[in-house]
Amino acid sequence: MTGRAAYWAEEAASLTAPWGGINMAWAAVDRHVAAGQGERVALRWIGRDGAVRAMTYAELADASGRFAAVLRGMGVQPREVVATLLPRLPALYVAALGAVKAGCVYAPLFAAFGPEPVRLRLSLAKARLVVTTAALWARKGTAEVPALMVDEGWGERLAAVEPLPCARTTADDPALLHFTSGTTGAPKGALHGHGAIVAQHATARTALGLRAGDVYWCTADPGWVTGTVYGIFAPLAAGATLVADEGDFDPARWYALMERERVVVWYTTPTAIRLLMRSGTELARRYDLSSLRHLASVGEPLNAEAVTWGREAFGHPFHDTWWQTETGAIMLATPPGEPVIPGTLGFTVPGIEADVWGEPGGVRELVLRLPWPSLFQGYLNDAERTRACFADGWYRSGDLATRDPDGRFRFVGRVDDIIKTSGHLVGPFEVESVLLEHPAVAEAGVIGKPDVVAGELVKAFIALKPGFAPSEDLTRDLIAHARRRLGPALAPREVAFADALPHTRSGKILRRLLKARELGLPEGDLSTLESGGR
Ligand code: 6R9
């Protein structure tokens, strides 16, 4: 056995359930109860209005078991998809854990998605059930999927059943389904098995430095992969106490929360850090944040100023971490205790081997050596796009990177046209498709335009149909149309009109050229501009 295989085998052994298999909910919650840690607080939920609700590991084990029984009572079978469309409520944690406990596949949806992305993902997933609120479903529920409302008789429903024990799953049984975006075509549903928890648990400790009993706060929205993996499963598996805030972003609220809850490990995004920077160092210093031990960032390039500002405001730099939906867990990180070098991601985490492929000085792609426990099992119903991610025993990330002589990796960019706005992936195709529904639109090309806070913002270039002329009213109408259909998470913030959009020879819109023009960059050799199409 190689060193890596031995490492993962040992990590898997520590999470193996009494029946010899692995279940994510058992590893995250029930295991701690079995080990006599049931009285430890698993979740401290802070409501919008400041109300606090604590749940111990024993209570979370019980409630998730009850939700698993509710699913069974509704006839929901193992391997069927249970989705959530929820704000950050205690029921979200219960539903996520309960679904995997029942052996179902858990699929989180972002509450800020509009009706179209919700419908599309639920139908691609063939979801058996969506757990949501009456208000969210009234606005977004166009899909013909049975919906269970957490604000209508939820407590009674859970009280009326006996908790179900964990389904006796194996590491390879599917557990999580996360939608991610491609350059072309529909969103891709990346499937992960229960065994992913092995790498998620390991990296919570090695990359984030999380220890049992630590108070931990992940600010990522639970509708995205970071919010599910490092907002629920990984830190619970590590025995942490999660802080979950229902409220919206607000610097003073965030600092007060960290002071009051004595947060020890804080995992956030560059966009949030840049927003905090705008409110000044003074504000941060007004709070007693001496409980903080480790600050980490993910999802988009972490600029040097943000790293340094962490030091000024909190006495600790932000440590970068890199991973993707497909990798299922952190792959690269500057771990606790390792000096932070701004502009670098850091090193491979234990159990992972990475490389960069391509000509020195040319375009070089970050690749990861197969296998590892949290690698995705494939895109749902898309063997072709799955196959395109692999070559010669390696996973191809689609990210461009370099490696320093000391082994630190640096992020350079992406090989494709995918947009990262506020740390969220946006597929240009999904946005373009909705813009094309508008009666005035002949063609649409969508790019990420650099933005000092959000990293990138979604910008649409539109060629109008004959008989329509650019105007401010039309701009407003297009943005309103997109927001109605796509929701604020995906809708363009800016619209520009063009007489015609540039195309590749095969007829695809040349988003890279739109981007080069937007940035005032040389347009370069057009023959190389055609995108990879992943
Ligand atoms: C976890 C998550 C993955 C893409 C990835 C890359 C970008 C992630 C980054 C980063 C620069 C970092 N990304 N971490 N870019 N620095 N530390 O975000 O998953 O939504 O699938 O996005 O995000 O481009 O390929 P996902």
Q: Identify the CATH number of the domain in which residue 43 sits.
A: 3.40.50.12780
Residues 115 and 138 in one domain: yes
Nearest partner of 239 among 400, 461, 57, judged by Cα: 57
Residues 433 and 526 in one domain: yes
Q: Which of 151-165, 358-372, 386-400 has the lowest mean pLDDT?
A: 358-372
Residues 455 and 438 in one domain: yes
pLDDT in tens, 379-431: 999 999 999 999 999 999 999 999 999 999 999 998 889 999 998 999 999 99
Position 529 confidence tier, pLDDT thresholds 50, 70, 90 = very low
Compute how many other C-beta atoms are within 10 angstroms of the C-beta atom of residue 475. 17
pLDDT in tens, 43-55: 999 999 999 999 9
Residues 423 and 500 in one domain: yes
Average pLDDT over residues 339-350: 97
Residue 437 makes CB contacts below 8 A (sequence gap 6+) with 481, 485
* Domain final residue pick, 379, 409, 439: 409
Angle at which helix 90-101 crosses helix 57-73, to 10 degrees, equals 60
Minimum CA distance residue for ligand 1 atom 1: 324
Best mutation site among 233, 411, 421, 456 for ligand 1 pocket (most ligand atoms within 8 Å of CB): 411
Q: Ligand 1 center to residue 29 CA distance, Å?
A: 28
Res 525: pLDDT: 54
Task: Give Cα 525 distance to the centre of its chain.
Answer: 34
Q: Ligand 1 center to residue 411 CA distance, Å?
A: 10
pLDDT in tens, 164-201: 999 999 999 999 999 998 777 889 999 999 999 999 99
How many structural domains are present in the chain? Answer: 2
Res 526: pLDDT: 52
Minimum CA distance residue for ligand 1 atom 3: 324
Residues 240 and 371 in one domain: yes
Minimum CA distance residue for ligand 1 atom 20: 425
Res 524: pLDDT: 65
Q: Ligand 1 center to residue 420 CA distance, Å?
A: 8
Taking CA atoms, 450 is separated from 258, 272, 434, 453, 533, in Å, by 30, 16, 22, 9, 22
Q: Is the pLDDT of residue 229 over 80?
A: yes
Position 534 confidence tier, pLDDT thresholds 50, 70, 90 = very low
Minimum CA distance residue for ligand 1 atom 17: 322
Written as six digits, the tokens of 195 are 């065994």
Q: Ligand 1 center to residue 419 CA distance, Å?
A: 10
Q: Ligand 1 center to residue 290 CA distance, Å?
A: 29
463 neighbors 501 (Cβ within 8 angstroms): yes
* Domain final residue pick, 373, 389, 409: 409
Mean model confidence pLDDT for the chain: 95
Residues 355 and 389 in one domain: yes
* Cα torsion angle, 414, 419, 420, 426, sign: negative
Q: What is the residue range of 453's domain?
A: 418-533
Residues 78 and 132 in one domain: yes
501 neighbors 467 (Cβ within 8 angstroms): no
| Index of the ligand 1 atom closest to the CA of residue 323 | 1
| Index of the ligand 1 atom closest to the CA of residue 414 | 24
| Index of the ligand 1 atom closest to the CA of residue 423 | 18
Q: Is the pLDDT of residue 129 over 80?
A: yes
Q: Ligand 1 center to residue 298 CA distance, Å?
A: 7
Q: Ligand 1 center to residue 146 CA distance, Å?
A: 33
Q: Ligand 1 center to residue 314 CA distance, Å?
A: 24
Minimum CA distance residue for ligand 1 atom 22: 324
CATH code, domain carrying 438:
3.30.300.30
Q: Which residues does residue 191 pair with via DSSP β-bridges, in sequence order?
A: 177, 378
* Cα torsion angle, 210, 57, 70, 25, sign: positive
Radius of gyration of the chain (CA): 23
Kindly state the DSSP code that residue 69 receives in the 8-state scheme.
Answer: H
Average pLDDT over residues 492-511: 91
Res 334: pLDDT: 98
Angle at which helix 304-314 crosses helix 270-278, to 10 degrees, equals 60
Minimum CA distance residue for ligand 1 atom 5: 324
Q: Ligand 1 center to residue 301 CA distance, Å?
A: 8
Average pLDDT over residues 225-249: 97
Top pLDDT among 68 and 222 is at: 68
Q: Ligand 1 center to residue 322 CA distance, Å?
A: 6
Angle, CA 117 vertex, CA 113 and CA 118 arms, to 5°: 75
Dihedrals phi, psi of 17, to nearest 5 degrees: -85, 165
Minimum CA distance residue for ligand 1 atom 8: 299
Q: Ligand 1 center to residue 321 CA distance, Å?
A: 9
pLDDT in tens, 462-482: 999 999 999 999 999 999 999
| Index of the ligand 1 atom closest to the CA of residue 424 | 20
* Domain final residue pick, 409, 443, 476: 409
Res 183: pLDDT: 78
Res 143: pLDDT: 78
Q: Which of 56-65, 130-139, 507-516 has the lowest mean pLDDT?
A: 507-516
Q: Ligand 1 center to residue 456 CA distance, Å?
A: 13
Ligand 1 environment, Cβ below 6 A: 180, 225-226, 298-302, 320-325, 345, 397, 399, 411, 414, 420, 425
| Index of the ligand 1 atom closest to the CA of residue 397 | 25
Give the integer Cα–Cα distance in Å for 321 and 330.
6
Residues 450 and 394 in one domain: no
Give the integer Cα–Cα distance in Å for 68 and 168.
13
Position 142 confidence tier, pLDDT thresholds 50, 70, 90 = confident
Residues 30 and 55 in one domain: yes
Residues 269 and 302 in one domain: yes
State what percent of residues in the chain have pLDDT above 70.
Answer: 98
Minimum CA distance residue for ligand 1 atom 18: 299
Minimum CA distance residue for ligand 1 atom 19: 324
Residues 329 and 378 in one domain: yes
Q: Is the pLDDT of residue 530 over 60?
A: no
Residue 522 makes CB contacts below 8 A (sequence gap 6+) with 516
Q: Which residue pairs, CB below 8 angstroms and at least 24 apart, start in 5-12?
A: 7/350, 7/351, 8/198, 8/199, 8/351, 8/372, 8/373, 11/198, 11/199, 11/201, 11/202, 11/351, 11/373, 12/171, 12/195, 12/198, 12/373
Q: Is the pLDDT of residue 436 over 80?
A: yes
Q: Is the pLDDT of residue 528 over 80?
A: no
Residues 219 and 274 in one domain: yes
Best mutation site among 268, 334, 396, 399 for ligand 1 pocket (most ligand atoms within 8 Å of CB): 399
Best mutation site among 268, 300, 400 for ligand 1 pocket (most ligand atoms within 8 Å of CB): 300
